[in-house]
Structure 1
């Protein structure tokens, strides 16, 4: 299903920030903003909610720590106990100081790798996916704001020209 959107191009990030605030003040819904680099405060200006990605990172780290503890207890205590450097292998707690580096490394390993996978899945960026960038200039030096049109094309066009847009296009966007 295709929907009509208006795309406004800007050449400066400060002008874009001002435009986003003005468009939001007029109660228009901004579909997406494409920028060549991160613009500080843009997410707040667009009214986006905070992400919960830090919580998932903590959960993935706890999962890695649990896997490390269970793995080392099974390998070094239950399955194949060995006397390494005179350290007895009677219990996991007695040998835990020697296992701290492994616990740390697996915690970081799980958190880092599972966060990358989560980011790609959440962003819907799988291998061989076609790029969704509507204008190649946004990868170099332009900023693009995309707003859905709901029988208010003239009003939006006038508003966007007033915010300092250098180019305005109306296109069909696949949903």
Structure 2
């Protein structure tokens, strides 16, 4: 079964924001929006749920901190204790101020690297992946809103032309 979608092109981000609000008010389903740069507030205008990426970043930081504490304790206290600067080598707690930079750096390292991996997996951006951009102009200076077509397509086309669209195309999506 094939579905029809409308590719609605805009050449200004403010016009796009107004069009998204009008489109949502008219109860049309926005499939996706392609922009050449991030548009502040577009996610809220589209009605997208807030991201949980900050929570995952915090959890990845906790994993990094746990690995750092375990690593430093094993290396400096259990495996090969050394007397460095007269500090006692038998107590993790007494040596903790010396270990704080290592723990901080490992926390940041794990959070950053695991967030990048999570972003690529969530976005399905694999190495050598072919671009899914429907119109090459959206990488330069145009904004494309992909809207599911339902009901009277001609009425939808005129609706989007009235929102300030530069171009409206009806596409058969397989």
- Kindly report which structure 2 residues correspond to 1:103-122, keeping only aligned pairs within 5 A, or say none: 103-122=103-122
Unaligned regions of 5+ residues in structure 2, if any?
A: none
Quick check: 1:100 aligned with 2:86? no
CA deviation vs aligned residue, 1:110-168 (integer Å, no higher than 9, x gap): 00000000011011111111101101101111111000112331221111011011111
Instruction: Name the structure 2 match of 1:32.
Output: 32
1:13 equivalent in alignment to 2:8: no
Aligned to 2:135: 135
* Segments ≥4 residues shifted beyond 2 Å: none
Unaligned 5+ runs, structure 1: none
> Which residue does 2:52 correspond to in 1?
52
Number of corresponding residues = 174
Counterparts of 1:82-101 in structure 2, within 5 Å, are 82-101=82-101
Give TM-score, length-normalised by structure 1.
0.96
* Alignment partners' CA distance in 2, 1:120 and 1:173: 25
Q: 1:2 to 1:61 in 2, by over 3 A?
A: farther
Following superposition, the deviation at residue 92 of structure 1 comes to: 0.6
Give the equivalent residue in structure 2 for 1:155. 155
Q: CA RMSD in A?
A: 1.1
| Residue matched to 1:61 | 61
Instruction: Please say which of residues 82-91 and 99-108 is displaced more in the overlay.
Output: 82-91
